[in-house]
């Protein structure tokens, strides 16, 4: 069966069920929405100041996009989250494992071991609860994301990482002529991720590369890649910048967080506050 046929079949089945009262309609009350939001959990990053900036940590039912220059700490933050998400909810975690989709071949189990050990966690167990999928081209990535649901259930994952969301599409679709198709495919990809986040109550973290806008006269000329497609679909966008040994995270786009920035360090424990700092949320 073609995808289009399947979609129309599903839609007419849904209409029938809604009319007969067996299935809830598309409209739900704000109270019900609030009920679902109450199931939302937050995962600590390991840095108090970054957690404060995020009002508690990375959220489930949302896509958090992290972008920044090379070496700004995107991959390191992803590694740290793979460990902290396994902490019980009472200790700032999500009490579940992580699925790590690696498009840049930068996943390092040794680093996970180091972070877990420094945090006093059982490294063997932590490694056991992280499932890594290396993807080599954009079609492969799209295919993997299509079948994510069963893996989330199978591995009881609470965190889903795509590091990075755009590198493969960016490398394969070159030139203006291919831009429309690239954006369409990215759009489908990121919306699928959003649905997984909502349906399975998992936190989705995607990393994104940056491009420099040579025509920007004022301010910082770096922009995340992927254009509006990624911008609109991400719930939160965090910009990471290097500042000597420290890193500065800025919330660029969020439905409710106030504008702000936080400083953190990359250490043996993953992500931590800057030394001797009580500057959380400054
Ligand atoms: P790209 O993927 O190249 O765009 O960069 P990224 O933003 O993913 O950078 P990444 O997260 O890989 O950060 C690299 C930086 O993290 C390095 O410059 C190091 O300063 C730091 N780092 C990497 N590994 C370790 C480690 O094991 N311990 C500590 N303390 N720092 C590390
Ligand atoms: Mg990286």
| Tokens of residue 107, six digits | 């996943």
Identify the residues whose C-beta falls under 6 Å from ligand 1. 68, 70-76, 104, 106, 111, 266-268
Look at 10-19, 74-83, 264-273 and tell me which has the smallest mean pLDDT: 10-19
**Out of 6-10, 37-41, 257-261, 267-271, least confident range:** 257-261
DSSP SS3 for 127:
helix
Kindly indicate the confidence band of residue 159, based on its pLDDT and cuts at 50, 70 and 90. very high
Find the ligand nearest to 222 CA.
1
Partner residues linked to 101 by β-bridges: 133, 162
Q: What is the residue-wise DSSP string for 23-35?
A: S--S---HHHHHH
Q: What is the mean pLDDT of the chain?
A: 89
Residue 52 CA, ligand 2 centroid: distance in Å: 24
Amino acid 278: pLDDT: 55
Give the C-alpha separation, 266 to 273, whole Å.
Answer: 9
Q: What is the pLDDT of residues 52-82, one digit of tens each?
A: 999 999 999 999 999 999 999 999 999 999 9
Nearest ligand to the C-alpha of residue 247?
A: 1
Structure tokens at 188: 């489908």
Report the b/e string of 170-199 with b at 16+ CB within 10 A.
beebeeeeeeeebbebbbebbeebbebbee
- Which of 76, 206, 244 best tests ligand 1's pocket when mutated (most atoms within 8 Å of CB)? 76
Q: What span, in angstroms and rounded, lies between the C-alpha atoms of 2 and 241?
A: 46
Distance 1 CA to ligand 1 centre (A): 46
Residue 282 in this model has a pLDDT that exceeds 60: no
* pLDDT for res 219: 75
Which ligand 1 atom lies nearest to the CA of residue 76? Answer: 11
* Whole-angstrom distance, CA of residue 270 vs CA of residue 44: 12
CA distance 167 to 158: 24
Domains of the chain, CATH where assigned: 43-272 (3.40.50.300)
Residue 281 has pLDDT above 60, yes or no: no
List Cα–Cα distances, 99 to 151, 159, 280, in angstroms. 8, 6, 29
Atom nearest to 78 CA in ligand 1:
11
Please tell me the predicted confidence (pLDDT) of residue 71.
Answer: 93
pLDDT of residue 15 exceeding 90: no
Residue 208 CB: number of other CB atoms within 10 A?
27
Q: List Cβ neighbours of 112 (8 Å cut-off, separation of 6 or more).
A: 79, 82, 83, 123, 126, 127, 130
Is residue 279 pLDDT above 70, yes or no?
Answer: no
How close is the Cα of 182 to the center of ligand 2, in Å? Answer: 22
Task: With a cut of 50, say whether residue 48 has pLDDT above it.
Answer: yes
Q: Residue 76 has which token pair?
A: 């390191």
Look up residue 135 and give its two tokens.
Answer: 């993807």
Tell me the CA–centroid distance for residue 198 and ligand 1, in Å: 30
Q: Answer for the pair 44, 51: CB distance below 8 angstroms, yes or no.
A: yes
């Amino acid at each position: 069966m073609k995808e289009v046929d399947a979609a129309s079949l599903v839609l007419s089945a849904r209409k029938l069920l809604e009319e007969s009262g067996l299935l809830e309609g598309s409209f739900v009350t704000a109270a019900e929405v609030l009920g679902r939001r109450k199931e939302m959990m937050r995962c600590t990053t390991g840095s108090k100041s970054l957690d404060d900036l995020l009002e508690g940590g990375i959220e489930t039912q949302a896509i958090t996009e992290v972008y920044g220059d090379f070496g700004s700490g995107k991959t390191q933050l992803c590694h740290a989250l793979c460990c902290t998400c396994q902490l019980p909810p009472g200790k700032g975690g999500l009490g579940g494992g992580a699925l790590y989709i690696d498009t840049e071949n930068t996943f390092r189990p040794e680093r996970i071991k180091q972070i877990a050990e420094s945090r006093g966690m059982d490294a063997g167990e932590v490694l056991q609860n992280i499932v890594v999928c290396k993807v080599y081209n954009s079609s492969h990535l799209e295919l993997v994301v299509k079948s994510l649901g069963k893996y989330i259930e199978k591995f009881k994952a609470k965190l889903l990482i795509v590091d990075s969301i755009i590198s493969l599409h960016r490398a394969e679709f070159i030139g203006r002529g291919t831009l429309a198709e690239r954006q369409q495919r990215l759009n489908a990809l990121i919306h699928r991720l959003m649905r997984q986040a909502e349906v399975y109550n998992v936190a989705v973290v995607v990393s994104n590369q940056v491009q420099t806008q040579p025509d920007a006269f004022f301010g910082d000329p770096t922009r995340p890649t992927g254009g509006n497609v990624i911008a609109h679909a991400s719930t939160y966008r965090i910009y990471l910048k290097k500042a000597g040994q420290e890193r500065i995270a800025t919330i660029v786009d969020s439905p409710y967080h106030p504008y702000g920035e936080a400083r953190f360090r990359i250490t043996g424990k993953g992500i931590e506050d800057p030394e001797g700092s009580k500057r959380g949320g400054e």
